[in-house]
Amino acid sequence: MHTMMSLYRPLKLTAMTLPPHDNDRGEPTPSSVVVNLTGDPEANEPSVRLSFSLEEATELADRLTQLVTEAQAGKFSQEGQELLAYHDKKAAARYAKINAEKEQA
């Protein structure tokens, strides 16, 4: 299943480490890192809990560090630029529709 949702800043970020434990089904689960992203409840924004193995968390931390370093140097990923272009195109279409409806009214 693929779900896309957006949480807008400011949001609350918390993280914790879990020791090895049994999951809800009673299966042994290794140590992990859990990240909670909490949206604004007044804006009906969702909250998300992400669980990573220690290896996944290390990979994510390395990648985030790399992205931050690049952004601070003014270098931005192609994927980020494409995402902004997509959103700009969608917003322009939405505003054009709104303006056309206003003109017809």
Q: What is the pLDDT of residues 28-39, one digit of tens each?
A: 999 999 999 988
CA distance 38 to 7: 8
- In percent, the amount of the chain with pLDDT more than 90 equals 50
Written as one string, the DSSP assignment of 51-100 is: EEEHHHHHHHHHHHHHHHHHHHTT---HHHHHHHHHHHHHHHHHHHHHHH
- pLDDT band for 56, please (50, 70, 90 cuts): very high
Q: How far apart are the first and last CA of the chain?
A: 41
Span 92-102, mean pLDDT? Answer: 84
- pLDDT band for 26, please (50, 70, 90 cuts): very high
**Quick check: 71 pLDDT over 90?**
yes
**Quick check: 3 pLDDT over 80?**
no
